[in-house]
Amino acid sequence: MSNLLQNQRTYALVGTSGCGKTSIAEMLLFQAGIINRLGSIEEGTSTLDYEPEAIKRRGSIQAGFANFTWNKNPHSLIDIPGDNNFNADMEYLLQAVDSAVLVIDAIDGVRPQTKKIWAYLQKEKLPTIVFINKMDRELANFDMAFNSLSSTLGMKPVVFFMPIIENKEFVGVVDIFPAKALYFIADGKVEEKEIPDNLKEEAQLLRDVSIENIASTDEILMNKYLDEGTLSDEEIQSALRQACIEREIVPVIAGSAITNKGGLRLLKSIDAYMPSPLEREAYKDHDGQTRKADDPETATFVCKTYNDPFAGHINIMRVLSGSINSDTVLKNMRTEEHERTGSLITLNGKIQNPCKETLHAGSIIAVAKLKNTKTGDTLADEKAPFTLPVPELLPQLISYGIKASVKGEEDKVFAAIQKLTDEDISLKLYRDEETGETLLSGMGQLHIEIAVEKAKRKSKVDISLTTPKIPYRETIKGKCQVQGRHKKQSGGKGQFGDCFIEMEALGRGQGYEFEDAIVGGAIPKQYIPAVDKGIQESAKRGFLAGYPVIDFKVKLYDGSYHNVDSSEMAFKLAGSIAFKKAMESLKVVLLEPIALVTISIPDEYMGDIIGDLSSRRGKVLGSDTEQGITEIKANVPMSEIMQYASDLRSMTGGQGLFIMEFDHYDEAPQPVADKIIAEYQAHKSEE
């Protein structure tokens, strides 16, 4: 089994949107003989982007999985979307692989999002190969793209395959180890030739510097290099592999996926320089226990969940240790239920093939119809429990209200969206108790729109999206004393409750405070909580525009009661009356929620972005520039930034990204408050 594990390669294709990851996956599948022709994203024929929504937008909207054998070695590949709308679960997927291929666009080089992706790879300690793609394009600039790896990412890149450009055409690569030129012919194959004269000196320099650097990591190699001035090819390859696995260097390959140039070089480099499961750092649980690939006890991690129209609920899992087959019984560490794996399925996009084999560590396999297993779960041998900690998801950035377009289909709509939240853990479906709306939260407008499209298609329901209500609040200024008295006599037992309260403003963010200052039994103790409840319920309904009142204190200091007619309900109504009188006596203001926004952009967009934030009533808190990328922090009213994801994309040509979180409430400007209040009054009059 050790030999089998040594030959396994499990890796992810990562990079920003539009860099060509899915085309690279297509090229690798073609080279491995899984497909007999290269599909096209533009034509909607690529193997991994098969959902109608992905074909429509010509880009990945969910992770794609492929299993194949190349050069007699098993490969498991995950193609992770580059668009921030669809890759919030990237850390879950990276936990399922041993290495990564980072794809860089030869025209744009490193983008702001690349920095985030590289940080994830570093966090997971994944050895990485860089594939500089689109070398066939007119504006491709290999040197610019290569230099940006170190200048922006702090990477230690080493050119393994340097591009050969003749008459502005990408015709081949120079293999730096062992110094030869490879010219492209048909079907991704190459023909070996002499290195062009204009590249010989550069290629030799790259080779010498690289050999000297890797020799310096090993004392025996260094001594031999100093004594003999050279190393054997075997020693070079062994040292390169070790340096790659230990993440001391990052191999760089030039290529063009769409023209099938560089696929074989990439596959050979993955086999030669990327780790097997045996060479991956051991997985750890919260208690510090480790699980290695060659441990006999079985453990698997669910990195993705799908609902397939034919196979039903499908969990895609990485075998962490041990082995599984179609009759393996494992314990779900979250639910403590036992699950039988049943039918195992290998995936190549939408192509599903039953798997009869026993699978070992490093394998990525789909399992259908598990009872109660979802993304992030660990399934392990009951006698050797192990739970892989799950990464913390980024907060959702935007919410929309959803409702059935056809009356009476509300339950169908909710069920349809609920299925999608099982597939996509970055979607959140919930009911806002304050507004009564059913809200769907996600990573951007496009994310939610495509989720709704999928729900409509799969469940045959019509769903409407509405912009959610902004969670405004109301508060008071000043201090007053009022009486709340409820008295009603209608024959028989009446209702009587009487209270005196002092109401005053508190500092922003201090919430609500109730003080019982009754002395001498002016109000019996059993009725005091009812006064508090009446005030709180009235505060929830608001005064100016129907939004909850916050940041105020009430002191109940006097009152009276009737031995027969007083009740909890009567004092609750008295509290409500007192609250309304106080609100009429005090100055009431509308508060708007302010978000803390962190925006990452290329330096050249800084002026435009700051100007745009100012137009949104934003307050820039500061900025930090590092290696061509500027990070801006700002406070912006939430009402001004609900559509910011698409706006930022337009302003930066897709190169900007941001995260947003609620920060605090602040008093709304009078024109804003007047508009909100007028809308509320108009709505009330219609009712």
pLDDT digits (tens, 9 = 90+) for 380-408: 999 999 999 998 887 777 788 888 888 87
Q: How far is CA 146 from the centre of its chain?
A: 27
Q: Give the rounded percent of residues in the chain with a pLDDT score beyond 90.
A: 59
**271 Cβ contact list (under 8 Å, min separation 6):** 9, 70, 71, 73
pLDDT at 210 over 90: no
Per-residue confidence at 683, pLDDT binned at 50, 70, 90? confident
Residues 174-183: b if buried by 16+ CB within 10 A, e if exposed = bbbbeeebbe
Q: What is the pLDDT of residues 227-241, one digit of tens each?
A: 887 788 888 888 899
How do 512-516 and 552-560 pair as beta strands? parallel
pLDDT of residue 556: 97
pLDDT of residue 517: 96
Mean pLDDT in residue range 335-358: 90
pLDDT of residue 405: 82
Residue 127 φ then ψ, to 5°:
-55, 145
Beta bridge partners of 338: 331
Asked whether the predicted pLDDT for residue 311 surpasses 80, the reply is no
Give the separation between CA 592 and CA 547, rounded to whole angstroms.
Answer: 10
Output the CA angle 642-645-648, nearest 5 degrees: 115
Please report, rounded to a whole number, the percentage of residues in the chain having pLDDT higher than 70.
99
Name the β-bridge partners of 12: 78, 100
Task: Characterize the bridge pairing of strands 359-360 and 299-308.
Answer: unpaired
Query: How far apart are the C-alpha atoms of 501 and 516, rounded to whole Å?
Result: 10
* Residues 322/298, Cβ–Cβ less than 8 Å: yes
Higher-pLDDT residue of 470 and 135 is 135
Is residue 687 predicted with pLDDT exceeding 60?
no
Look up tokens 């020799």; give the residue. Answer: 215
pLDDT digits (tens, 9 = 90+) for 502-544: 999 999 989 999 999 999 899 999 999 999 999 999 999 999 9
- What is the band of 369 on the pLDDT scale with cuts at 50, 70, 90? confident
